[in-house]
């Protein structure tokens, strides 16, 4: 090539790139001055303006929620314009599990969304079902069943306000909580995620929890709440997770709909749809309930998000699943899988584009879904400032937060038996023996959804029941620990701590809810010592107690209290009176599992609870 030609060619390429740079610069300048970027405009005006500027690809991107563990190339966030990302139960940042590392990771992910043409911010979601439970060192509260036992909506609101603060301290602005299932059968592995069996109680706690997360209305100070799982997941046959709720519509509306009505009145901005079915139809495919009832009749203005890969269960044909779920009313799809896996986010995007081209999903349905998502983002001020206040990060797991959790524990305890005033114990007893491995196991005390999805072992920072007892008694009192209960000589009182190992979701489904043989034997050995026996049950639901209740002088249902074991010691030693009341009936035998199909009188009625 002649020199002159080379020079002209180089000049041509240079001019081309200069022209493109000018184009992108002008486009960026236009975006910065667009009406949707102006916070003085109304939310609806901003939504309308932004929607008018979006391509179909950009709209569909907003409907995608990808999981951290499956986005190996973070450039995909900008490439596909994700509207959201999440961390599922075991999906965590690379490196140490600290609030600071979470904050750095989430901020980096959010920065990729701002590299897109329209700079639509990413909203990050996480399960925070009893505190910011994936992060080590946070404040963990009693699971919902314990909070239901408090019958104290103001306390529930305060607990979620603290949870919101700790979540926001890691850069996250969306929680998949509260769970407002109205559980009818305690064999369900998610029973502890429900406030109780009474729709009125669940409704009251649901509204309070939504306000705790979001405030009186969505604002730049809110963490977005997500009521779940719509609808009937607490009423599946035999308590089977992701099962089938069989009932007529009147029953569905009477038992399971009221908490969603309460959450909507409280302003909840998102609702997660249930894996379960109603009379054989998967909820993710139920247009009548999602669109006609929830969005139409109840006037829900927020957006609907699917559960983890839940649309995949509609049928074996993924493209059909996409079509069915979007037309049913889903606005955002949780897609945990990345490229290389069937039913991944790239496949979803391509399938939905094809469905629009084939006129199987209307442009109006896409616009409705995206408008709902954008509206929430504008209301939360994400376009103006999605930064994190350093003071929130510094307060994670603070003494002030833990004191509120300790109060929640105190109020959640239900005293089922107190023979001859065995409680409260004197702090100056000479010898107290604590038995049961659970007494010194923070993982059992916290239950599932604690750092790991299923929960396990000594998973985070907190105070065990054993340590709490040692901290509260007189310096002259000897507190011995005998995990197997075989060293009880000389005890003035025996505190037996028993219960379920941690579990979550369907892995917690059980057909037999008997207290374990090992726990029953432990209590029997304690009884044989001749000392008063105080039994503390750590469980996500009522268990069939058998002889354990008769062998105990006092018996406390402590549920899954979280990190602050001091709240239990406060009640054991009389610094606080037990005030908790059962949030559900306690079955006497395995014929009484289903609350709406009791055979004879239960062991304890809903609302039962003693005090001093």
Active-site positions read 307, 505
**How far apart (Å, rounded) are the C-alpha atoms in residues 296 and 331?**
15
**How far apart (Å, rounded) are the C-alpha atoms in residues 333 and 322?**
9
Which neighbouring-strand residues pair with 558? none
Question: In angstroms, what is the C-alpha Rg of the chain?
Answer: 27
The Cα-based distances of 228 to 12, 298, 304, 342 in angstroms read 58, 16, 10, 26
The residue among 264, 206, 192 whose CA lies nearest residue 234 is 192
Burial level of 483, CB count in 10 A (0-12/13-18/19+)?
Answer: middle
Burial level of 29, CB count in 10 A (0-12/13-18/19+)?
Answer: exposed
Measured in Å, how far apart are the chain's first and last C-alpha atoms?
99
Q: Determine contact, residues 423/612, Cβ cutoff 8 Å.
A: yes
**How far apart (Å, rounded) are the C-alpha atoms in residues 447 and 190?**
11
For residue 128, give both structure tokens. Answer: 């925070």
For residue 239, give both structure tokens. Answer: 């308590």
For residue 457, give both structure tokens. Answer: 């072992």
**How far apart (Å, rounded) are the C-alpha atoms in residues 404 and 566?**
11
User: Which distant-in-sequence residues (6+ apart) come within 8 Å of 285 by Cβ?
Assistant: 314, 324, 325, 328
Which of the 8 DSSP states describes residue 434?
E
Instruction: Please state the separation of Cα 46 from the chain's center in Å.
Output: 31
- How crowded is residue 425: how many other Cβ atoms within 10 Å of its Cβ? 22
**How far apart (Å, rounded) are the C-alpha atoms in residues 66 and 334?**
6
H or E segment to which residue 303 belongs: strand 303-305
Instruction: Please state the separation of Cα 91 from the chain's center in Å.
Output: 14
Which neighbouring-strand residues pair with 277? 244, 282
Whether cis (ω within 30° of 0) applies to the bond prior to 467 is no
**How far apart (Å, rounded) are the C-alpha atoms in residues 298 and 227?**
14
Q: Determine contact, residues 373/83, Cβ cutoff 8 Å.
A: yes
**How far apart (Å, rounded) are the C-alpha atoms in residues 180 and 210?**
11
H or E segment to which residue 277 belongs: strand 277-278
The residue among 599, 604, 534, 527 whose CA lies nearest residue 569 is 534
- With vertex at residue 134, the alpha carbon angle to CA 131 and CA 139, rounded to the nearest 5 degrees, is 35
Alpha helices by DSSP H, listed for 256-317, are 258-265, 287
């Amino acid at each position: 090539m002649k020199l002159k030609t080379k020079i002209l060619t180089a000049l041509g390429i240079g001019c081309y790139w200069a022209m493109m740079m000018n184009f992108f610069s002008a486009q960026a300048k236009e975006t910065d001055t667009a009406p949707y970027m102006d916070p003085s405009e109304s939310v609806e005006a901003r939504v309308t303006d932004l929607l008018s500027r979006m391509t179909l690809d950009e709209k569909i991107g907003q409907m995608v929620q990808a999981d951290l563990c499956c986005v190996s190339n973070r450039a995909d966030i900008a490439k596909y314009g994700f509207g959201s990302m999440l961390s599922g139960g075991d999906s965590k940042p690379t490196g140490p599990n600290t609030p600071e590392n979470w904050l750095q990771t989430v901020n980096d992910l959010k920065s990729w969304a701002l590299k897109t043409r329209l700079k639509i911010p990413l909203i990050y979601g996480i399960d925070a079902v009893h505190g910011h439970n994936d992060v080590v060192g946070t404040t963990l509260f009693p699971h919902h069943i314990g909070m239901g036992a408090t019958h104290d909506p103001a306390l529930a609101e305060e607990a979620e306000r603290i949870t919101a603060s700790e979540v926001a301290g890691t850069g996250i602005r969306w929680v998949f909580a509260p769970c407002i299932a109205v559980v009818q059968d305690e064999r369900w592995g998610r029973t502890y995620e429900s406030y109780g069996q009474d729709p009125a109680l669940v409704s009251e706690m649901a509204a309070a929890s939504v306000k705790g997360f979001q405030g009186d209305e969505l604002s730049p100070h809110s963490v977005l709440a997500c009521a779940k799982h719509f609808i009937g997941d607490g009423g599946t046959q035999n308590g089977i997770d992701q099962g089938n709720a069989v009932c007529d519509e009147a029953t569905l509306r009477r038992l399971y709909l009221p908490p969603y009505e309460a959450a909507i009145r409280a302003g909840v901005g998102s609702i997660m749809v249930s894996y379960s079915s109603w009379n054989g139809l998967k909820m993710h495919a139920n247009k009548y309930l999602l669109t006609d009832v929830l969005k139409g009749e109840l006037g829900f203005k927020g957006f609907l998000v699917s559960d983890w890969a839940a649309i995949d269960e509609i049928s074996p044909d993924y493209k059909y699943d996409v079509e069915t779920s979007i037309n049913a009313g889903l606005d955002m799809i949780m897609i945990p899988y990345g490229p290389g896996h069937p039913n991944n986010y790239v496949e979803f995007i391509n399938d939905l584009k094809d469905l629009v081209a084939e006129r199987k999903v209307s442009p109006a349905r896409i616009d409705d879904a995206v408008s709902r998502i954008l509206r929430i983002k504008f209301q939360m001020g994400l376009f103006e400032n999605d930064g994190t206040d350093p003071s929130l990060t510094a307060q994670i797991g603070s003494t002030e937060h833990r004191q509120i959790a300790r109060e929640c524990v105190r109020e959640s305890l239900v005293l089922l038996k107190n023979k001859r005033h065995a409680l409260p114990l004197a702090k100056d007893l000479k010898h107290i023996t604590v038995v049961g491995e659970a007494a010194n196991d923070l993982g059992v005390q916290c239950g599932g959804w604690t750092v790991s999805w299923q929960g396990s072992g000594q998973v985070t920072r907190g105070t065990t029941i054993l340590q709490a007892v040692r901290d509260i008694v007189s310096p002259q009192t000897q507190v011995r620990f005998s995990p197997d209960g075989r060293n009880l000589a000389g005890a003035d009182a025996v505190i037996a701590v028993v219960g379920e190992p941690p579990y979550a979701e369907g892995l917690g489904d059980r057909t037999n809810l008997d207290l374990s043989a090992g726990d029953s034997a432990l209590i029997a050995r304690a009884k044989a010592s001749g000392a008063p026996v105080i039994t503390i049950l750590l469980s996500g639901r009522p268990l069939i107690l058998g002889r354990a209740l008769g062998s105990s002088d006092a018996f406390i249902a402590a549920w899954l209290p979280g990190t602050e074991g001091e709240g239990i010691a406060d009640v054991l030693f009389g610094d606080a009176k037990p005030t908790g009341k059962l949030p559900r009936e306690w079955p006497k035998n395995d014929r009484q599992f289903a609350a709406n199909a009791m055979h004879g009188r239960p062991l304890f009625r809903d609302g039962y609870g003693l005090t001093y």
